[in-house]
Structure 1
């Protein structure tokens, strides 16, 4: 306490001598509290991380969709370094993450449970379950583990941890819903760029793959992916994002200037056109069906959720999509129509393979044959009419692959995690700041759910990374955020 006016006084006392001088009490300066660094620092950190994730999504499809174990390890190291750097900077700033782990407790518990189960598969515990490993020697795998291919199981374990870290990072940057919306647009542009590369490779660069002559899928667009179906899923996601952003652009047409509206509309329509053209050029039947299912889901949900779209907006969206679809089918749909005519229905060999896979699942329903073990384990069950000269590296159904490798319970955990994140996206759709990202995430779930019935595109790592980020963008809006989260 300091004294003004030259007299001394104490709290609540009158000045001495009854004079007119009074004492003005000035509070003693307090020490500056040790608070967190300015929120703008975390905002900048998340903005930089968002750019890093977009760059990551741009790079991962280039080396054959990252469908090789070497690339799995490279990208796992990259994501691990990103997460480590993010944590170090937060610690240095003495700041909290925008979303704490507890806010996604169900998903984290499910993921850790799945990883723990894979660890059980690769530990030398087979002696405890002798009946489960009778066929291990015939498969050429170690008889000491429940997994018939423990090396591949370790790789899958690393993959799941990588997906978890990427999901955590993407959720942090999506706390700012404007940034999440911009991320969605950035992803659409990236997919459109790969669509352009795919069309140019097919029509102008001699039908090549990364500059080299194709060994398979000649005459079909594959982009930089290992096969046309995986590329089709990648493009189907882009078509779904484009549909969601198109509806949002029409609904928000009263905001901004005419030039801004035309710019946004032109960008989205342009991306949709090249993506749809490349999707048709893949000749992928299920990929096209999945893309139409996802885009339709996004349009329907957008019309229902955006209050300002109006009848004129709905008609504009439908007319634009219809005209574009007719034109694209006429120009680029010949390969797809050819496959529909010449090879109607599903390949009978694939149907037979699925029957054999399901029978194998029922023989070992609880522990599975080991994460990542399908190419090794399925050889024990392969029988006519499946030719022994042909090795089935994939089950052509992600659902069957999960249950074959992990068992019915553990193999369903990834589906549960996706359902939980999807539920958060549905809940977030009511928030105007989250509607676009929410319907895009829901539509993307539909794409993967449909195509995974008869293909393994979700198992291609570039597609899995893309799916993970979009799920995070949609699910982040479904968490009740604290006030500090709003601007970063």
Structure 2
């Protein structure tokens, strides 16, 4: 039967919302990873407009994802509690004793009444809240718009294309200079590839997430070869043929992104990506009998691709490891960690306000010989969140993210087919979670929205196959097929 005009219009509207969401992900890295007030505000505005568009559409087309939403009740409540707490941090308080002691000191110094707040910089806290809500909006939109397998496949290809674009730009900028494209607008680094981002570590996380998506597609494309009852030598030949002739663009994307990743020379970013790649391979290939025997050859092939990129562009990374190792003992980070932990002890429950780390930490740098150098970040997202939000809210935020990863992990175990997406969600969380121990990449808006986008897709595709087919039957009606087949 032909699709009704209402359903056709609704499907077209969803398609445009999806395109707008992909455009947001694609444009977010351009202005220094949106790690400046104006691009961050524009990103939040764009995400908010897309969310409003989806809400208007949902008024006329009820969602069919009730099962998935019920599984998200716990993470949603935790996330909502954190956002409400951040709003409370920037709100005026009725009693001075409830606010940060800094407000009382300021009131005494200026000899006038100043309304106390928990946050020492309410404007910075409101900006941080805006960013967090934008990440939540991107996750929600990806969850709702990515339930159809065809659209999820398009989204994954878009992630690979976006990652490849910024990797290629980074290579141009690193080897030949790219000021002819953006002038002096973007930062440059003489010893590391940073693409359009602020520093090497931020782009390393971004590239690592894109590389995970590319490897995820690669594993899907060769899984039928691994199931053949043929000698290992013939299987290897078929896999190589697929990599070179049938999936040449995917192999090129993996090599390009991996090369750019190694040229960042980011120790934490590269190590976290390699660990996440190992996790992705193990999860995505766990299936029927014989799956364990498949992991070895596939891991070898992935290592070959990564090894080629390491040989070509890993010189700076190896040199940095030789000079500094993987330890933080001789790094400024160890001093920052110790100072931040001390600061957390002074305000463990309420925090100093989201987005206020740079201002709050200055009072604790009494013995720092380089006092004129600002500490903008803690280089550990867990410690920074604990100082800004307080321990309870920071724990709730981390638990919400961990809960999402657990839902994806459950999806890997429950699904018989197409477990690539939930496996990708677990691997992406592993990557950002490990790197957050030694850096702040997830606090860069472009990285955060890409991760939120990937997690939304992963959760949308994490339900058991039968439940997912029932949930997407209505949504898929009238939409053109062009799905990416394994």
Within 5 Å, give how 1:314-393 maps onto structure 2.
314=295, 316-344=297-325, 345-346=327-328, 347-393=330-376
Structure 1 residue 220 corresponds to structure 2 residue 192: yes
Aligned to 1:449: 433
Give the SS at the match of 1:196.
Answer: helix
Change (3 A) 1:38 1:307: farther
Question: Does residue 95 in structure 1 map to residue 61 in structure 2?
Answer: yes
Partner of 1:478: 462
Higher relative contact order (CA 8 A, sep 6+): 2
Aligned positions, number? 450
Residue of structure 1 aligned with 2:21, choices 40, 46, 53: 53
TM-score under structure 2 normalisation?
0.84
SS at match of 1:377: helix
Structure 2 distance, partners of 1:405, 1:269, is: 42
Aligned equivalent of 2:271: 289
Structure 2: distance between partners of 1:253 and 1:308: 13
**What is the rounded CA distance, in whole Å, between the counterparts of 2:438 and 2:23 in structure 1?**
30
- Find the partner of 1:405 among 388, 413, 435: 388
Q: Which SS does the other structure have where 1:412 is aligned?
A: helix
Could you list the per-position Cα deviations for residues 203-247 of structure 1 after superposition, in whole angstroms to 9, with x for gaps in the alignment?
A: 122689944397663121010001111001101112222222222
- 1:285 CA displacement: 0.6
**SS of the counterpart of 1:187?**
helix
Q: Alpha-carbon deviations, 1:110-154, whole Å to 9, x = none?
A: 222111111221112172535842577479997611101110111
Larger Rg: 1
Q: Distance in 2 between matches of 1:293 and 1:472?
A: 22
Structure 1 residues 325 and 103, CA gap change in structure 2 (3 angstroms): closer
For structure 1, the residue ranges without an aligned partner over 5 or more in a row are: 1-34
CA distance in 2, matches of 1:282, 1:244: 22
Contact kept? 2:244, 2:251, Cα under 8 Å: no
Tell me what 2:230 maps to: none
Q: For the structure 1 residues 421 and 82, does the alpha-carbon distance in structure 2 shift closer, same or farther, using more than 3 Å as the test?
A: same
Q: Is the 8 A contact 1:437 1:474 kept in 2?
A: yes
Report the CA distance between 1:42 and its aligned residue: 3.9
Determine the structure 1 residue equivalent to 2:97.
Answer: 129
- Partner in structure 1 of residue 231 of structure 2: none
Residues 287 and 206 from structure 1, CA distance in 2 versus in 1: closer, same or farther, beyond 3 angstroms? same
CA deviation map 1:250-299 (0-9, x unaligned): 114499x9999866632322111011100110111111101101111111
Where does residue 418 of structure 1 map in the other structure?
401
Deviation (angstroms), 1:464: 0.3
Structure that is richer in helix per residue: 2
Are 2:262 and 1:280 aligned? yes
Tell me the residue number matched to 2:235. Answer: none
Cα 1:378/1:322, change in 2 over 3 Å: same
| Contact 2:21/2:50, CA 8 A, preserved across alignment | no
Residue pairs, 1:188-337, within 5 angstroms: 188-205=160-177, 210-212=182-184, 217-253=189-225, 265-305=247-287, 311=293, 314=295, 316-337=297-318
For residues 166 and 87 of structure 1, what CA distance do their matches in structure 2 show? Answer: 13
**C-alpha separation in 1, matches of 2:103 and 2:11:** 55
Written as runs of structure 1 = structure 2, the 5 A alignment for 1:166-177 is 166-177=138-149
Distance 1:434 1:173 in 2: 18
Q: String of CA shifts for 1:303-361, please: whole Å, max 9, x gaps.
A: 223768684x5454233223223322222111111111122222432101111101111
The farther-off stretch of 336-345 and 129-138 is: 129-138
Partner of 2:78: 110
- Measured in 2, the distance between the counterparts of 1:365 and 1:240 equals 36
Q: Which of 41, 45, 50 pairs up with 1:73? A: 41
After TM superposition, the structure 1 stretch with the greater mean CA deviation from structure 2, 145-154 or 198-207, is 198-207
TM-score w.r.t. length of structure 1: 0.84
Q: Deviation string for 1:80-105 (max 9, x for gaps)? A: 111112222333xx211243555532
1:87 and 1:332 mapped to 2: Cα distance? Answer: 46
Distance 1:335 1:399 in 2: 28
C-alpha distance in structure 2 between counterparts of 1:244 and 1:43, whole Å: 27
Aligned counterpart, 2:483 = none
Distance 2:8 2:212 in 1: 33
Equivalent in the alignment of 2:234: none
**Structure 2 unaligned residues grouped into runs of 5+:** 228-237, 477-486
SS in 1 for 2:72: helix
